[in-house]
Structure 1
Amino acid sequence: MVCFRKSHQLKYFRTIPLLFSICFFFFSNATCYGQVDSILVKQDTIQKIDLDSVIVSAQFAPTVQSELLRVVHVIRAEEIQLAPVSDLGALLEYVRGVDIRQRGITGAQSDISMRGGTFDQVLVLLNGINISDPQTGHHNMDIPVDITAIERIEVLQGSGARIFGPNAFAGAINIITSSPEKAVPSLSLRGGLYGTAELATNLPFRTKKVYHVLSLSGNTTDGYTDNTDFMKANAFYRMNAKIGKIKTDVQAGYILKEFGANSFYTPKFPNQFEATSTIFASAGLSDLNNQSWKTSVYWRRHYDRFELFRNDPPAWYKNHNYHLSDVAGASVEKTFSWKKHKTSLGADFRMEHIFSNVLGTTMNSPIAVAGTDSAFYTKSAQRNGFSIMAEHSYTAKKFSVSGGALLYLSHQLENDISVYPGIDLGYQIIKPLRIFATANRSLRLPNFTNLYYSSPTNIGNPLLKPEEAISIEGGLKWDHKNILAEVAGFQRYGINMIDWVRHDTATVWECKNLTAVNVSGIEAGISVLPDFFRKKFFIQRFSVNYTFLVSDKSSEGFVSQYVLDYMKHKLDIRAVHRITDNAGLTWQLGWQDRAGGYTPFSEGVYLAEAPYKPVWLADAGVFYQWKQLRFTVNATNLFNTKIIDHANVSQPGFMLMGGISWKYERRKTK
C-alpha cells in the first residue's frame, strides 16, 4: 500500500531525473536499439501514413481499418506528435463524437463519453486489456502511460459489448503502446505557465531474444487558481518474446496522482484533495504466425483517498474516504478461418472487489488502511462476471457481414444471464465507397459508487439495475488514396439509464434508473492526408468533423448531473501547415454546444439552473526539427475562453507550454 504525503510537488519532481539516471545506468549492460528503414539524416516534419496496413480491433478478429464495418477513429503516433497538447484527455478532445469533460489542469481528471453517453459507458483498454475502474468512471483515465509512448489509439464509436463485453455501452478506447521491437530511445522536457513542468523518457533494450521497453514520465503544476495544484508520476514496462511459434506479451504499470480538487465533487467545500495510485499487470500468449488464438490474464489495483477538507477540517468532519479496488481476469480467444469465412469464439472471467469505509456492505472485522494511524476499511463488495462471445464474418465479393453475440452471466442481471447480439453489414458500391449498417444490444453495470455511495449531498442505490440499450447505425465511408470521408446516422434506445438526479426543490443528489433515454445523432467528417498536397504546399494535413446529438428525455421536475448534459453540437477543424522543410504550424479549432444546464453555487447557496454556454476552443503549436531534436511551443485555449465542463468547476484559461524532445534512431540491426 502507498502512503501519500502532501509534500511540495516541485520537491518530488526534482527526484525524477535521479530516477532516470539510475535507469540509464542499469540499461547500460543491455542492448539499446532503434528500428527504422534507413539511417536518419533528416527527419520529415510531416510523415506519411499507410492506411491499409493499420490493423484495428473493432471486430472480434483483427481487421484492416479500410475494411471495417464500424466507425473507428485511429490516432497514430505521427498525429500525436503533431498535436499541440501534452495529455491524453486533451488529445481525445478533437476526436469526432468524443466528449471530454475535464477537471483541473494537464489531465488531473478527465471523463470520456461518446455519442451522448456518460463517462461510465465507455470501456478503456490498454493494449487490448480492460483497465476500466469498477469504483467510478472518474478513474478510467488513471493510465500509467505518457502520450510519447503511444503508437496509436483506436476509438470505437457505438456499442462494443459483443466484442469487448459489458460496459462497452457507448464505445471503447484501445490505447496501443509502442511494441518493444519497434520502440526507440527518446527523452522529452516541457514547461509552461502556472509552474508546469513535464518530463518523459522511453528506454527500449534487448536481452538476448527478449525485447523490452521502459517508459517513465512525470509532471507537476502549481495550479491555475487556489487548490488546483497537481502531481503525477508514471512507470510502464512492456516485454515481447518469441518461444517457438508462440509470442508472449507482458506489461506492467504504476501511476501516482495527487491533486487539489477545488469544488470537484461539491461547490460547498472547495478545499478538497484527492490522491490515487494504480498498479496494473497482464501477461498474454498468442499464435506468432496469424494470431489465430490468444489468451491473457490481468490484475489491476487502484487506491483512492479523498479528503473533503484538505486543511483545517471542522469538528464534525471525522474521516477521509478510503477505497481499495482490485480487478482480476482471464480470457481466451480462438479464430477459425477458411475461404471467405472467419469464426471467432472467446470466453472471459472478471472479478471486481473493493474495500472501503464508504462503499459496500459492512464487514464483521474492519481492516486497517495501510499508511494511516486510525483509518479502517469497514465495508466491502464483490461481483463476478463470466462472458462467452461468438462472432462469424463472411465476405463475398463486394458484400460483407459480421454477426455475433455476448452471453453474459452475473448475479446483477435480473435472471442471472442475458444475451447481447449484434450484426454489421457492408457493401462496396465502388472501390473507394462502402455503405454499412449495424445493430447491437449492449449493457453497462452500475459501479460501486452508483450502488453504495452515501454522503450529506449524494445517496447511492444498491437496487440499481444494469443499463441496457439497442443501437442501430448506418452510413457511408470513402477511403481513396489520401482522402478519407465518413457520414453516419445512429439511434440508441436506452432503458434503465443511471444518473445522479436532484429534484428542483431538493439539495441531495440521488442515483436512479431513469425510465428511458433515447439518443439520435449524425456524424460527418473528412480528412485530407499529406500526399494529397504538393510536397512544398503550405497545407500538409486538413480535417473537418461534426457531430449533432439530440435526446428525447427532458429534465422536467429534476436536474440531471450527467445523462442529460450531452454535447449537442461539436465541430472540430484541424490543420498542419508547412513553414520550412524543418518547421511547421499545427492548429485546431472547436465549437462545442452542450445541452442541459447546471446549478450555479454562489455565496453558500445554489442559484437558479443555468444553461451551459456554447464555446469556441482554439489550440496551436509550432515545431522545428533539427537532426534528432525537436523544439515545440504550444498554446491551448488561445481565446482565453471560460470553460465549464462540470458544474461550478472552472477550467484554466490561456496556457502556454514549450519543450524539447530527442529521439534516437539508427538502422535496424540484422
Structure 2
Amino acid sequence: MSFFSHAQETDSTKLSEFYLDEVTINSGRVPQTFSEQARIVTYVDSEQLQAMPAQSFDQVLSYVAGVDMRSRGPLGVQGDVNIRGGSFDQSLILLNGVNMNNPQTGHLNLFLPVDMEAAYAVEVLEGPASRVFGANAFTGAINVQTKPLDKNNIYGHVMAGEYGLQKYTGRVNLTSGKTRHLITGSYKKSDGYVNNTDFEDVTFYYHGSYDVNAGTFDLTAGISDKGFGANSFYTPLYPNQYERNKLYHGSLRFTNKGKIKVSPTIYWNRTYDRFELYRDNPASWYTNHNYHQMDAMGFNINTIIPSKLGKTSIGFDARYEGILSNVLGEDLDDPISIDGVDNTAYTKGKERYNYSIFLEHNVVLSKFTASAGLMFNYNTQLAESGDDGFDIFPGIDLSYALTDNLRLFGTANTAMRIPTYTDLYYQGPTNNGNPDLKEERATTYEIGAKLDNKWYHASASLFVRYGKNIIDWVKYPSEDKWQAQNLTELDTRGLTFNSQFNIEKLTGKSSFIKTVSVNYLGLNVDKAAADSLVSNYALDHLNHKVTLGVKHKVFLDQLIADWKFIYQDRNGSYTAYDAEFNPQETDYKPFATVDLRLSYQYKMMYFYTEASNIFNVEYYDFGNIPQPGRWFRAGIKMNLDL
C-alpha cells in the first residue's frame, strides 16, 4: 500500500506541510484529502529535495522540527530518526509503503537502497500509527517515495567538497507505451572530517510501472553497499571501529482499477552487517568481528470498500523476521558458514513472525470527518516470552472545519513496538541485552488546529503520550555496562508549531524574499524510573527545537540563496572520557547551526555551492561523537528531457 499519494503540483520554493485540498494522503488506511484529515504531515517533493542544501535523507529530515535527527556519520553514513521525543527504534521507515525497519537494530532503519536524488517525495507523519501500519509505528512514520516519470529523461550530478568528498549520480527515466522505468545509480566517498570517519557508498535502484487492463504493477529492486569508519559510534572506549552494510531489496505491488480498491504487496529485504570493534591493531582478547544476516519479508493487502455510510478498509499484513549471527540470537544446533569469511560461522539465530489485521472506517459529513479503526496483532516471539502474543490497538481521528481555511482536530491512538534482536540478545564489552524484554506500548492524545490560505500555511498542536514498558539502555554511574530494560512509564508532553509564508503569492509578483518558514517543537518528559539511572537514548530527548528557512534572490532572478537555521536544546547527558579514559557525565549543551546553498539555474543546467554549519559550531549531538564543522561543497546537475 502506498503511504501517501502524490501531490498534483509541486513548488520548488517550499518545505512545508501541504494544506491543499487536492493533495491526498494516507495517514489512515483510507486515503483522504488533506482538508478532511486530522494528522500533521510534512511533505517534501522532488523539486524541494533538489533545491535544499542537503545531500542525504538525514540532512533533509533534520530540517523537520518534529524530527530529532541524530547522525553518527554525515551525509547518510548512519543516522537515528527520532520523532516527537521517541527513540530511534520507535520510528517506522517505509519505501513506497514497504516496511524497511531493520529487526537487528533501529540504527540501520534509514539504510535504504535508494539515493535521495531518486526520490519523488519524502513524507513525515507525526504521531502514533500502529493501527495504520502495524507494530513499530510508535511515534510516527517516514515514507520515501519513488516514481517513474511519464517521459524520457536523463539526469546527472557531480559534486565535490572538502575532506576528499565526491559524489556522482546518474538517473534515467524511460517510458514506452504502458511501461515506465526509473533506473538510478549513485557513488559517494570521503576521507573523513576527523580520524576514522571516512566512508564509501554505492547504490543502485530500479522502479518499473506496468499498466495492464486490470490495474498497475509496480516493481522495485535495489542494492546498497556501504563501508565507513565508525569513530566512537557505540562506545568512545573503542574509537577505531568500522562497519560494513549491504542491503538487497525487492518488492512487487499491484493496484487494481474499479470501485473497490484492492492492493496486495510482497517484499523482501536482506541485510548483511559486519561490525569491527578494532579496524586494525586489535587487542589480544579480540578474536572475531560481529557478523549478521537479516531477512525481513512480508505480504500485505489493503481493500477499500465505498458505501453510502463512508469508506471501509480491511487489511492484512504478515511479516517474517529472521537473523543469523555469531553474537545475536539463540544457539544453533549446527553452525552455518559465512561466505568469504574463514574460521568464523553463524552460531546463533532467531526467527519470528508478526501478523496484523486492520479494520478502519471513514466518514465525511459536511464539515466533520472521522476516521476510526483497530489493529489486531499477534507476534510469535511475544507469545514465547510468556504472554499470549495477541494485542488490540484502537484509534480515532476527528476534525471539524470552522471556516474554509481553519480546521480543528483531535486524535486518540495507541501504538506498540517489538524489541529488536540487539535489545534482546546483544552481549558486548559495554552492553548487555535482555531476552526478557516486553513490547513497548503507548496511548497518545492530540488536539490542534490547521490554517491555510493562498500564501500562508500553519498548524499548531498539543499532544501527550503515555508510554509503558519503554525500552532503554541504562546504567548507574558506578557501572561499566549498559543494560537493556523496560522503564515502567515514560510520559511525553509536547507542543508543535509549523508555519510557512510565500511572499510572492502574497504580493502577486516576484520579490527579493521568496519564502520564509518557522517551525517549533517543545517537549517535556516524565519518567517512572530511578533518578540515578543514566539513559543512553530514551531520556536524551529534545527540550526545544526551532527551524527557520529563508529563500531569497541574490542580484539575479536565477541566483537563489536557501538558508536553513536549526536550534536544538537537548535533555540528558553523555559519558565523556579524558585522555586517561576516566569517565565523566557531561550535559548536552544547546547549539545552533546554519546551512546555506547558493544556486544558479540556466536552462537544463543547475550550478550550486553550499556549506553546512557555516559558522563552524562545535557541538555533540550524540554521545562523544564530534559532529562536522564547516563543510564546503559544490556541484553541477543536468536534467534533460528527451
Which residue is equivalent to 1:448?
421
Per-residue deviation, residues 613-638 of structure 1 (Å, max 9, x unmatched): 00011001110001100001111001
Instruction: Give the aligned residue type for 1:89.
Output: D
Secondary structure, counterpart of 1:120 in structure 2: helix
Which residue is equivalent to 2:616?
640
**Structure 2 unaligned blocks of 5 or more:** 1-7
Which residue is equivalent to 1:600?
576
Q: Is the 8 A contact 1:66 1:479 kept in 2?
A: no
Instruction: Give the aligned residue type for 2:128.
Output: S
Instruction: Please tell me the root mean square deviation across aligned C-alpha atoms, in Å.
Output: 1.8
Q: CA deviation at 1:306?
A: 0.3
**Match for 1:552 among 505, 526, 544?**
526
Q: Is the 8 A contact 1:45 1:583 kept in 2?
A: no
CA pair 213-389 structure 1, distance change in 2 beyond 3 A: same
Per-residue deviation, residues 568-610 of structure 1 (Å, max 9, x unmatched): 1000000111232212110011110000111101224343311
Secondary structure, counterpart of 1:80 in structure 2: helix
Q: CA deviation at 1:180?
A: 4.1
Instruction: Give the aligned residue type for 1:549.
Output: L
Q: CA deviation at 1:207?
A: 4.7
Which residue is equivalent to 2:373?
404
- Aligned counterparts of 2:462 and 2:367: Cα–Cα separation in 1: 22
Q: CA deviation at 1:314?
A: 1.8
**Match for 1:142 among 111, 117, 122?**
111
Q: CA deviation at 1:327?
A: 0.5
Q: CA deviation at 1:45?
A: 7.5
Q: CA deviation at 1:67?
A: 2.6
- Aligned counterparts of 2:411 and 2:297: Cα–Cα separation in 1: 32
Q: CA deviation at 1:343?
A: 0.4
**Match for 2:542 among 544, 549, 567?**
567
**Match for 1:362 among 331, 336, 347?**
331
- Aligned counterparts of 2:47 and 2:35: Cα–Cα separation in 1: 19
Q: Is residue 2:626 matched to residue 1:650? A: yes
Q: Is residue 2:516 matched to residue 1:542? A: yes
Q: CA deviation at 1:277?
A: 0.4
Which residue is equivalent to 2:362?
393
- Aligned counterparts of 1:394 and 1:73: Cα–Cα separation in 2: 24
**Match for 2:431 among 458, 470, 491?**
458
Bigger Cα displacement from structure 2, 590-599 vs 45-54: 45-54
- Aligned counterparts of 1:531 and 1:150: Cα–Cα separation in 2: 27
**Match for 2:467 among 480, 484, 494?**
494
Per-residue deviation, residues 537-595 of structure 1 (Å, max 9, x unmatched): 11111110001000012761110000000011000000111232212110011110000
- Aligned counterparts of 1:567 and 1:606: Cα–Cα separation in 2: 27
**Match for 1:438 among 400, 411, 416?**
411
CA pair 398-540 structure 1, distance change in 2 beyond 3 A: same
Q: CA deviation at 1:369?
A: 0.8
Per-residue deviation, residues 376-402 of structure 1 (Å, max 9, x unmatched): 000001110100001000011111110
Instruction: Give the aligned residue type for 1:517.
Output: L
Q: CA deviation at 1:280?
A: 0.5
Which residue is equivalent to 1:468?
441
Q: Is residue 2:530 matched to residue 1:532? A: no
Q: CA deviation at 1:63?
A: 2.1
CA pair 429-183 structure 1, distance change in 2 beyond 3 A: farther
Q: CA deviation at 1:218?
A: 1.1
CA pair 44-139 structure 1, distance change in 2 beyond 3 A: closer
Bigger Cα displacement from structure 2, 205-214 vs 263-272: 205-214
Q: CA deviation at 1:137?
A: 0.5
- Aligned counterparts of 2:19 and 2:158: Cα–Cα separation in 1: 29
Q: Is residue 2:342 matched to residue 1:373? A: yes
CA pair 52-202 structure 1, distance change in 2 beyond 3 A: farther
Q: Is the 8 A contact 2:259 2:306 kept in 1?
A: no
**Match for 2:560 among 584, 605, 609?**
584
Which residue is equivalent to 1:151?
120
Instruction: Give the aligned residue type for 1:375.
Output: T
The TM-score normalised by the length of structure 2 is 0.95
- Aligned counterparts of 1:339 and 1:183: Cα–Cα separation in 2: 42
**Structure 1 unaligned blocks of 5 or more:** 1-36, 38-42
Q: Is the 8 A contact 1:593 1:613 kept in 2?
A: yes
Q: Is the 8 A contact 1:268 1:604 kept in 2?
A: no
Instruction: Give the aligned residue type for 1:562.
Output: Y
Secondary structure, counterpart of 2:285 in structure 1: coil
Secondary structure, counterpart of 1:431 in structure 2: coil
Alignment of 1:264-283 (within 5 A): 264-283=233-252
Instruction: Give the aligned residue type for 1:573.
Output: L
- Aligned counterparts of 2:115 and 2:329: Cα–Cα separation in 1: 33
- Aligned counterparts of 2:428 and 2:11: Cα–Cα separation in 1: 55
- Aligned counterparts of 2:472 and 2:638: Cα–Cα separation in 1: 46
Per-residue deviation, residues 151-194 of structure 1 (Å, max 9, x unmatched): 11110000000000000000000111133436732111111000
CA pair 399-369 structure 1, distance change in 2 beyond 3 A: same
Which residue is equivalent to 1:204?
173
- Aligned counterparts of 1:156 and 1:183: Cα–Cα separation in 2: 32
Which residue is equivalent to 1:34?
none
Which residue is equivalent to 1:33?
none
Q: CA deviation at 1:245?
A: 2.3
Per-residue deviation, residues 321-360 of structure 1 (Å, max 9, x unmatched): 0000001100111001124601000000000000000000
- Aligned counterparts of 2:137 and 2:266: Cα–Cα separation in 1: 19
Q: Is the 8 A contact 2:459 2:499 kept in 1?
A: yes
Q: Is residue 2:458 matched to residue 1:485? A: yes
CA pair 182-441 structure 1, distance change in 2 beyond 3 A: farther
Instruction: Give the aligned residue type for 1:619.
Output: D
- Aligned counterparts of 1:433 and 1:292: Cα–Cα separation in 2: 31
Q: Is the 8 A contact 1:491 1:520 kept in 2?
A: yes
Q: CA deviation at 1:75?
A: 1.0
- Aligned counterparts of 2:590 and 2:151: Cα–Cα separation in 1: 43
Q: CA deviation at 1:211?
A: 1.2
Which residue is equivalent to 1:28?
none
Alignment of 1:10-21 (within 5 A): none
Which residue is equivalent to 1:624?
600
CA pair 543-460 structure 1, distance change in 2 beyond 3 A: same
Instruction: Give the aligned residue type for 1:664.
Output: L
Instruction: Give the aligned residue type for 2:521.
Output: T
Alignment of 1:179-328 (within 5 A): 179-181=148-150, 184-288=153-257, 292-328=261-297
Secondary structure, counterpart of 2:69 in structure 1: strand
CA pair 44-454 structure 1, distance change in 2 beyond 3 A: closer
Q: Is residue 2:74 matched to residue 1:74? A: no
Which residue is equivalent to 1:660?
636
The TM-score normalised by the length of structure 1 is 0.91
CA pair 377-113 structure 1, distance change in 2 beyond 3 A: same
Secondary structure, counterpart of 2:153 in structure 1: coil
Secondary structure, counterpart of 2:39 in structure 1: coil
Secondary structure, counterpart of 1:312 in structure 2: coil
Q: Is the 8 A contact 2:148 2:173 kept in 1?
A: no
- Aligned counterparts of 1:47 and 1:354: Cα–Cα separation in 2: 42
Secondary structure, counterpart of 1:450 in structure 2: helix
Instruction: Give the aligned residue type for 1:616.
Output: A
Which residue is equivalent to 2:302?
333
- Aligned counterparts of 1:44 and 1:509: Cα–Cα separation in 2: 47
Identity %: 38
Secondary structure, counterpart of 1:51 in structure 2: coil
Q: Is the 8 A contact 2:14 2:515 kept in 1?
A: no
- Aligned counterparts of 1:368 and 1:93: Cα–Cα separation in 2: 40
Which residue is equivalent to 2:54?
85
Which residue is equivalent to 2:397?
424
- Aligned counterparts of 2:87 and 2:612: Cα–Cα separation in 1: 25
Which residue is equivalent to 1:40?
none
Which residue is equivalent to 2:320?
351
Q: Is the 8 A contact 1:105 1:230 kept in 2?
A: no
- Aligned counterparts of 2:478 and 2:605: Cα–Cα separation in 1: 59
Q: Is the 8 A contact 1:104 1:228 kept in 2?
A: yes
